[in-house]
Amino acid sequence: MRPVFQPSPEDWPYLRRLGWTILAAAAIVIIWRASNMLLLAFGSVLGAVMFRSAARMIQRVVRNWHVSLVLGTLLVVGLFGVIAYLLVVQFGAEISGMLGNLPGTVGAVERGLGTTKVGAAIVQAIHAATGGSAIADRLGKLMLGGGEMLINFFIVMVGAMFIAADPRPYKSAVILLTPPSGRAAMEHAIGEISAALRLWLKAKLLAMLAMTVLISGSLWLAGLKSWAALGLLGGLSEFVPYVGPTVAMVPAVGLAAAAGGDLIWRTALAYLFVRVVEAYALTPGLSRSVIKIPPALTLFVILGVGAVFGVYGVFFAGALLVVAYVGVRELYLRDTLGEDIEGLPDNDEA
């Protein structure tokens, strides 16, 4: 006689599907609840890639890997220290004054544009599309939680040091969790993702340096005060494609609008010149060895990730897109569907 609570054989397929559905739903809930922690973990992986990339560069001279890794870590941390010094000490008062009053800055931009018929039409269109001061309110909120961001940055750096010291256990864990038939493809995909992230970070660093110099020089020629601080903000904003540079442009336009006269138009022309140089000279030169992702896809992924995960999501959206893009290409298009898609050049694994 069969026990009362033992399912019949024909019920097992349904119960298995139900079990997998419950597990998938539970995984989605866990990921949603722990989204900030997962983003910090991804930031640690990104930091580890930076540390090991710097170590590879130093190893060409030092030869010893462990010494190179220590020096590479110190180099990256020192670079962050220089940026922090410039943001807090050198230009701290100017930047906090500009960013702390972003809603007021947006209002100044609107008043400056409203002096002409074309500008007034632009302001009216923006109000109709965004519901009044929605943009100003959201930009103002970005300045909140500075202490929390500092703590999270410290967590990311410490995690990155642990991963950079020995990434093999983490890589092996991902491969072992993959079914045996797919482990070779997973190992190859991890290598491709690591190479893509290294190239992406290298291109971002060069773009940030070039744009800092270009924006600073253009705003200086336009006659705008705080051109150095605004150039630094503009260069750093390049880490978040499209969205970052747009947000970083608002304080400059606001200062120009508040100053009055034709300064706002000189500032607008300066940024137009910068974007033309970036689009036709800088970006093509940097993108030759970097994974090519369609611009529209990048823009909408950044907006979507930001809407779901907030500010941290916007910050890491570009790198997350690189990982997802290469992962889909290697694991689905190439391995599952058998498509012959060109990948990255051969690179040593991170």
Question: Residue ranges per domain, the chain?
Answer: 184-350
Within the chain, residue ranges assigned H as helices are 12-33, 35-62, 65-85, 92-99, 102-113, 117-130, 134-141, 146-165, 168-176, 183-222, 227-237, 243-259, 263-277, 283-286, 295-309, 311-327
When pLDDT is averaged across residues 311-319 and rounded to a whole number, the result is 82
75-120 confidence digits (pLDDT tens): 999 999 998 888 777 777 776 666 666 556 666 666 665 566 655 6
Rounded to whole angstroms, how far apart are CA atoms 81 and 75?
Answer: 10
C-alpha distances out from residue 248 to 32, 98, 276, Å = 29, 10, 17
Give the 3-state DSSP-derived string for 266-296, with helices as H, strands as E and coil as C.
HHHHHHHHHHHHHHHHHHHHHCCCCCCCCHH
Q: Considering Cα of 226, then 228, then 229, then 230, what sign does the dihedral take?
A: positive
When pLDDT is averaged across residues 142-157 and rounded to a whole number, the result is 73
When pLDDT is averaged across residues 234-246 and rounded to a whole number, the result is 84
Phi-psi map region of 292: left, alpha, beta (phi>0 left; psi -120 to 50 alpha): beta
Confidence check: pLDDT of 349 > 50 = no
pLDDT at 53: 92
Average pLDDT over the chain, rounded to whole? Answer: 79
Rounded to whole angstroms, how far apart are CA atoms 70 and 345?
Answer: 27
pTM of structure = 0.76
pLDDT at 68: 93
Report yes or no: 73 and 51 within 8 Å, Cβ to Cβ. yes
Rounded to whole angstroms, how far apart are CA atoms 334 and 199?
Answer: 21
Confidence check: pLDDT of 202 > 50 = yes
Greater model confidence, 213 or 35:
213
pLDDT at 52: 93
When pLDDT is averaged across residues 321-348 and rounded to a whole number, the result is 76
